[in-house]
Amino acid sequence: SPSCSSVIIVGAGVSGLSAAKVLIENGVEDVVILEASDRIGGRIRKQDFGGVPVELGAGWIVGVGGRELNPVLDLARKSNLRTFFSDYSNARYNIYDRSGKVFPRGLVEETYKKEVESAVQKLKKLEADCGYGGDFSNATEPPSTQKTPMELAIDFTLHDFEMPEVEPISTFLDYGEREFLVADERGYEHLLYKMAEDFLFNSEGKLLDSRLKFNKVVRELQHSRNGVTVMTEDGCIFQANYMILSVSIGVLQSDLIAFNPPLPRWKTEAIAKCDVIVYTKIFLKFPYKFWPCGPGKEFFLYAHERRGYYTFWQHMENAYPGSNMLVVTLTNEESKRVEAQSDEETLKEAMGALTDMFGPNIPEATDILVPRWWNNRFQRGSYSNYPIVSNDHFVHDIKNPVGRIFFTGEHTSEKFSGYVHGGHLAGIETGKALLEEMEKEKERTSESENQT
C-alpha cells in the first residue's frame, strides 16, 4: 500500500532541504523527501579529482561584503567552511592572444570601458523596445558588429560572469560585490549536511532518517483537490496532502515528470520562457605548473576569434597550493558542444589553447574532468536565467502553486535566481507559504465540521 504523509518534497538540493527544515521545525514532521540521485546537494557537488576536492557545481559564495549578510555566508561560517576571496576583476589584465602575448593594460582598460558602455546601452534599448510588462520574447538583438578576439574575451566575461558593472543585480546590491571561492575538503555541500544535521543527519554526516529517500526518480505526478500521488521509476507510490517540487527549470522543461492533469497554461508558458544557462567547469591536472602565479594572476583569459572558446581560466594554487590544476569555464553552446564529444577531444582543444598562450613546451595534462550538467536528466542545465526584461507576472507564474503542488528552487527566487542563496531563500519561502496554506486548510475543515 502506498505510503502517505503530509508533504512530499521532490529533490534534496539546497532548496528542498531548506523547505524541509522549515516544515519540520514548525511541527510538520511527516514529510518525505524523494531524491532521484544517491546523494544530497543537487547542483552543489564535490568530487575528488587529482587529489583535490573540486566543485563541479556551485563554487562561490556570491555576494559578500555588502550591507546585509548573505545567508549562505552565514551557513558557511557556522560550518567553518574554508573560503578564499576571488578577484575576477584582475582577469582582464591577463588576456593572452593566440601568440602568447599579453595585451597591454591601457588598451584593455579602454576596451573594457567601451564594452561596459555598449552593454549598458544594449540593455537600455532592450528595455525600451519591450517595456516593462511587454512581451520580451519578441525583442530582437541588434546585429553585433565584428568584434576582435580581445573584445570578445571581455564581452564573454562581462556577460557570462555577470559583472555588476552592467546591470544592477540584487545579489550584489544587497549582499555586496565580493565572491568567495569555497575550497574545503568536505565540499560546499558540507553546509547542507550541517543545515540538515538536526533533522536528517548526525554530526558525522550519517543519514539517520528514513524520511529522505535516495534513488527515487519521480516520473508521474497525479494531483487533485484532495491530494497528490507520486509514482517513481522503480514502481513506488507515495501519497500526500501536499507536494513541494524543487526540480530545476531544465527538468520542468523536459518530459521527465508527467503531470496528471497537465499543468495549466500560465505555468507551462512561464516555465518555457525561462532561459537555462549551461555553465561548465573543466578541470585539468598537470605534472607541474607552467602558468604565472602570485597576486592578480588567479584568472586569465584566452582571446580567440570564437566567442567563449576556452576563454576563462583559473588556477587553483591559491586554494590548493601544489595541486597543479587549472579550471577552464565554458558556457551554453560551447558547453553543449563539449558535452557531446569525448573527453580526449576536449583535452586536445584545451591543450591547443594553452599551447597558444604558453608555448609548445608545456606538459600534457595527465587528467581531465568534464561535468555534464546539460545531459544530466536530473538537471538539464546549470541554472536559470530570467528574461532580461522580466516582469512581476512572469516571476509569480514561475513560483505560484498549482493546486496542492508548491514550487521551489533557485528559479523561483524573485531576487536571487541562479544562486545557492536563491535556492536556500526560495526553500524557506515556499516552506512558509505551505505552512500558511495548511493552517488555512485546517481552519476551513474545522469551520465546515462546525457547520455539520
In the complex, which residues of this chain contact ligand FAD (CB under 6 A)? 10-16, 34-37, 42-44, 57-60, 62, 216-218, 246-248, 251, 256-257, 279, 281, 373, 378-379, 382-383, 409-410, 418-420, 422-423
Closer to ligand FAD at the Cβ: 98 or 219? 219
Q: Show the cell assigned to 432.
A: 512558509
- Minimum Å gap between C-beta 406 and ligand FAD is 13
Strand partners, 38: none
- Cα(366)–Cα(163) distance, integer angstroms: 33
- Minimum Å gap between C-beta 105 and ligand FAD is 28
Closer to ligand FAD at the Cβ: 60 or 300? 60
- Minimum Å gap between C-beta 62 and ligand FAD is 5
- Cα(146)–Cα(144) distance, integer angstroms: 6
- Cα(168)–Cα(147) distance, integer angstroms: 25
Closer to ligand FAD at the Cβ: 28 or 230? 230
Element (H, E) at 280: strand 279-285
- Minimum Å gap between C-beta 417 and ligand FAD is 8
Closer to ligand FAD at the Cβ: 119 or 251? 251
8 Å CB contact between 391 and 263 = no
Residues 223, 228, 231: CA angle, nearest 5 degrees: 95
Closer to ligand FAD at the Cβ: 19 or 354? 19
Closer to ligand FAD at the Cβ: 332 or 382? 382
Closer to ligand FAD at the Cβ: 116 or 428? 428
Closer to ligand FAD at the Cβ: 258 or 340? 258
Closer to ligand FAD at the Cβ: 104 or 164? 164
- Minimum Å gap between C-beta 86 and ligand FAD is 9
- Minimum Å gap between C-beta 10 and ligand FAD is 5
8 Å CB contact between 265 and 59 = no
Closer to ligand FAD at the Cβ: 300 or 383? 383
- Minimum Å gap between C-beta 171 and ligand FAD is 8
Residues 250, 255, 258: CA angle, nearest 5 degrees: 120
Query: Beta-strand (E) ranges in 98-251?
Result: 178-182, 212-213, 218-223, 228-232, 237-245
- Minimum Å gap between C-beta 82 and ligand FAD is 15
Angle between helices 71-78 and 420-451 (to 10 degrees): 100
CA distances (Å), origin 16, targets 11, 35, 428, 436, 444? 6, 9, 9, 18, 27
The set of residues, in sequence order, having a beta carbon less than 8 Å from that of 136 and lying 6+ positions away, is 126, 130, 387, 388, 389, 390
The set of residues, in sequence order, having a beta carbon less than 8 Å from that of 145 and lying 6+ positions away, is none
- Burial of residue 96, with CB atoms counted within 10 A of its CB: 0-12 exposed, 13-18 middle, 19 or more buried: buried
Q: Show the cell assigned to 276.
A: 537555462
- Minimum Å gap between C-beta 430 and ligand FAD is 10
- Cα(55)–Cα(51) distance, integer angstroms: 13
- Minimum Å gap between C-beta 250 and ligand FAD is 9
Cα–chain-centroid distance for residue 166?
20
